[in-house]
Amino acid sequence: MKRVVLLLAVLVACRGSARSTTPRPPEHEPPVHQGPQPHITWKKVSSPDDVPREPPAVGTYRVHMIDVGTGLAILLQGHDFNLLYDGGTNDPGEKPLRVLSYLALAIGPSGDDTCVAKGDVAPTQRLPLDHVVLSHPHLDHGSALDLVVHCYDVKQVWDSGRVNDAAFYRDFLTAVAASQTASYHTAADVPSDHVVGVKGAEIKIARWERFSEDDTVRLGEAATFTILHAEAKKLPDPNQNSLVITVELGGARVLLVGDAESGERRDPADAPGDVEQFLLDHHATAVRADILQVGHHGSKTSSRRAFLAAVRPHLALVSSGPKLYGKVTLPDPEVIEELKRDGAEVLRTDDRDRDCPVEHRIGGDTGPGGCDSYMITIEPAAR
């Protein structure tokens, strides 16, 4: 077999310029897909002008890592679909600003006056959003999703089904129940009365279906996602319920893991455990990906060396901010070094954190976030 040459992209120094990484795994590692490999480029999104207002061309896809500060929000787009994986932050005062402002740029403004920052012009239309996925019920992953479901005509909602008795989760499910368009999917058995109790509220969700591990969902032309980990029962930490999906976008693969962990905070060289070990045991081939959303914001609870070796990403997406997780600010430097050691290019939303130009921030000028988002473009291989 001929030696596969890794093509190195030229990194352009100016802000907002595109970087390129054409996936070429080492000789001993099979590519994600056989045949011509797609062309993958990325650029930093530092202002509204950096976000395209039109959907991608046919055969082209975009992956947006939205800078929400201390949290996670990933938007995937094809010419015929949009999927939002998580949408939340732990930073105070940010709820409607970061996620909804970015969606208004990438998809279009939608909803009513509650869907924009105070003083902004209210949308005059309602737009569809095909899929919303909540990886697990923690505030930093779901705090904005009630507004997303309220503001857009969401078609499909995917949730682990693990109940967290928290106000944000109650509000999210209340919005799903009130939606005229959303069908709700969980890994939990659907109760006969379609009612779930959260934070003192009894919420009835009429359109509720159960999904299972290994289910594959069509997104659009040449685009699907497959569920690799789905657990609804109440485990000690909702991170253990993280809904892990692998997304096929043309000839590229994206692995979204939420806060899937290996256990306690340990050095990346330690043996994997928990969800990461489950994925290695049951989906060792399927976790191989071009693009990885790094687990738990780059914490040492995730990203064990053996797991990263199975994924072998070309791009590693780290979404984090200044708020402490326990006693630490994420990401952990040991995880970043491990990713780089494996040859991944690491993109981080906390590059500038608080040193962000107020006049260009997406979602307003309060708190962290809204500055260092990233847009990855996946194009077909050259013929």
3-state DSSP of 257-311: CCCCCCCCCCCCCCCCCHHHHHHHHHHCCCCCCCEEECHHHHCCCCCCHHHHHHH
Specify the length of the chain in residues.
383
In angstroms, how far is CA 204 from the centroid of its own chain?
Answer: 27
Given this model, what pLDDT does residue 21 score? 45
Given this model, what pLDDT does residue 316 score? 98
Given this model, what pLDDT does residue 92 score? 78
Q: Give kind and range of the element (H or E) at residue 139.
A: helix 139-142
Task: Say if pTM beats, i.e. exceeds, 0.75.
Answer: yes
Given this model, what pLDDT does residue 365 score? 81
Contact 375, 47 (CB under 8 A): no
Distance between CA atoms of 370 and 99, rounded to whole angstroms? Answer: 9
Domains plus CATH for the chain?
Answer: 57-349+374-379 (3.60.15.10)
Select from 383, 378, 304, 329 the least CA-distant residue to 64.
378
Angle at 29 between CA 26 and CA 31, to 5 degrees: 95
Please give the chain's pLDDT, 383 residues, in tens: 444 333 333 333 333 434 444 443 433 455 566 667 899 999 999 899 999 999 999 999 999 999 999 999 999 999 999 999 999 999 876 655 799 999 999 999 999 999 998 888 999 999 999 999 999 999 999 999 999 999 999 999 999 999 999 999 999 999 999 999 999 999 999 999 999 999 999 999 999 999 999 999 999 999 999 999 999 999 999 999 999 999 999 999 999 999 999 999 999 999 999 999 999 999 999 999 999 999 999 999 999 999 999 999 999 999 999 999 999 999 999 999 999 998 999 999 998 866 787 788 898 887 889 999 999 999 998 75
Given this model, what pLDDT does residue 3 score? 40
Greatest alpha-carbon pair distance for the chain in Å reads: 63
The label of the residue with tokens 């685009």 reads: 223
Given this model, what pLDDT does residue 233 score? 94
Distance between CA atoms of 87 and 337, rounded to whole angstroms? Answer: 27
Distance between CA atoms of 74 and 56, rounded to whole angstroms? Answer: 16
Contact 240, 164 (CB under 8 A): no
Query: Per-residue DSSP letters for 14-53?
Result: STT--EE------TTS--SSSSSPPEEEEEEE-SGGGS-S
